[in-house]
Amino acid sequence: MSYDIVVIGAGSVGTPAAFYLAREGLKVLVIDRLPSPGQGSNKAAIGGVRATHSDPAKIRLGLRTIEILSRFSEEFGHDVEWRPGGYVFVAYRPEEEKTLRELVHLQRSFGLNIRWCDADELLRIVPDLNPKDLRGGTYSPDDGHCSPLLLCHAYYELAKKAGAEFHFSEEVLAIEVRAGRVTAVRTDKGRYPTKLVLNAAGAWAAKIGKLLGLDHPVYPDCHEAGITEPVAHFLDPMIVDIRPGPGSANCYFHQLATGQIAFCITPDPPILGEDRRETSVFLPQVAKRIIQVVPRLSGIRVRRTWRGLYPMTPDGLPMVGWMEGVHGYLVAIGLCGQGVMLGPAVGELLARLVTEKLQPGDGLVLENLSPNRSFQAQEVLR
């Protein structure tokens, strides 16, 4: 049995890609070593979706994802709990005020709907913010959040309906190449002739690259997250605090459509590697940080914590496009923890790339996110 394309990874990126590719009439096989969709890092995501980045390529992808999500239920009949509650970046010190104000300037120049709010205005948007020392913050009302699990599963259902096949609990052992061209994918369970392979293996993308002798600069970095019991709705936007703290670079949290608060920190220094076992460090660290920002969180009970992997690249930008050196080898890797918020738009883009139906503007994205770039720049706000 041969396929037009074999997608490696049924997560935040591979699953939407499979759908959009299958919808274009391609015969798609998705292979994942885990037993069901989204079991790698998708299920560890907390679901924030924003276009308010500082790189034009990511901004474009973010805007498109928001467009897709806001029409998802109506277009595809799946409720993925999309809530356009916006994002608020808070500033409690002059340093963060300065960074955020500069960023707003840049982001507005890209046409993003984001503005600086002083403390009073911000408190009207989020009445439960800690007013003490609050200087203000940015508010981008078009951003929002969805359920990563439901989104991934919806794409899985849609992809199957569009004809894509999924093989779970199957491990890719080799990508066969003849005369510089992909010819087949071999797994522990079979061999699948194909001319195209998409590496969407997330945190494990570098291992897939190694099968071809390629060195993808994608390394997993571990973040811990938690969720509370559900409470009555009291918080609209995702709150981000970019103040550094002991052991953490920032923290962010939001209230899900189902009422729970999901929260996360970015460890600093980063915790590299694939270890996802729970540690005793996370809860005391994150609890102080987020209660400081919204004191009302203190009485809400934590239900569970977990760790997930951010597939990082040296410059914080994803790698999307054809890889030089092997014909037919496509990557959508190194999403740097933003697979959910970029995955749908990346999936569409990949389908256009493969079917040669690129649109104006795609060129800029593919150039900025080229997997063959030199990785020297750094994004201002990741």
Contact set with another protein (CB under 8 A)? 35-39, 43, 130, 149-150, 152-153, 168, 228-234, 258-259, 275, 277-281, 283-284, 286-288, 290-292, 295-306
Least distance to another protein from the beta carbon of 175, Å? 26
Least distance to another protein from the beta carbon of 228, Å? 7
Which of 28/59 has CB closer to another protein?
A: 28
Least distance to another protein from the beta carbon of 309, Å? 14
Which of 194/228 has CB closer to another protein?
A: 228
Distance, CA of 168 to CA of 333 (rounded, Å): 20
User: Which residue, 49, 35, 34, is CA-closest to 237?
Assistant: 49
Least distance to another protein from the beta carbon of 297, Å? 5
Residue pair 232/79 in contact (Cβ under 8 Å)? The answer is no
Least distance to another protein from the beta carbon of 186, Å? 24
Which of 80/214 has CB closer to another protein?
A: 80
Compute the half-sphere exposure of residue 357: CA atoms within 13 Å on the CB side of its CA.
9
Least distance to another protein from the beta carbon of 187, Å? 18
Which of 39/99 has CB closer to another protein?
A: 39
Show the tokens assigned to 373: 């770039």
Distance, CA of 277 to CA of 121 (rounded, Å): 41
Residues listed for the chain: 382
- Going by their DSSP bridges, the two strands 238-241 and 248-255 should be labelled as antiparallel
Which of 150/218 has CB closer to another protein?
A: 150
Render the burial of 196-230: b for 16+ CB within 10 Å, e for the rest: bbbbbbbbbbbebbebbebebbbbbbbbbbbbbee
Which of 216/307 has CB closer to another protein?
A: 307
Torsions phi, psi of 59, nearest 5?
Answer: -60, -45
Continuous H helices in 51-204: 56-70, 72-76, 94-109, 119-125, 148-161
Q: How far is CA 154 from CA 39, 121, 147, in A?
A: 14, 37, 10
Least distance to another protein from the beta carbon of 81, Å? 11
Least distance to another protein from the beta carbon of 276, Å? 9
Show the tokens assigned to 304: 């569970």
Helix or strand run (H / E) with residue 346:
helix 339-354
Which of 187/279 has CB closer to another protein?
A: 279
Which of 7/150 has CB closer to another protein?
A: 150
Which of 39/113 has CB closer to another protein?
A: 39
Torsions phi, psi of 37, nearest 5?
Answer: -65, 145
Distance, CA of 79 to CA of 81 (rounded, Å): 6
Least distance to another protein from the beta carbon of 344, Å? 17
Distance, CA of 97 to CA of 93 (rounded, Å): 6
Continuous H helices in 147-274: 148-161, 205-211
Residue pair 47/77 in contact (Cβ under 8 Å)? The answer is no
Least distance to another protein from the beta carbon of 138, Å? 24
DSSP-derived letter for residue 341 is H
Which of 286/336 has CB closer to another protein?
A: 286
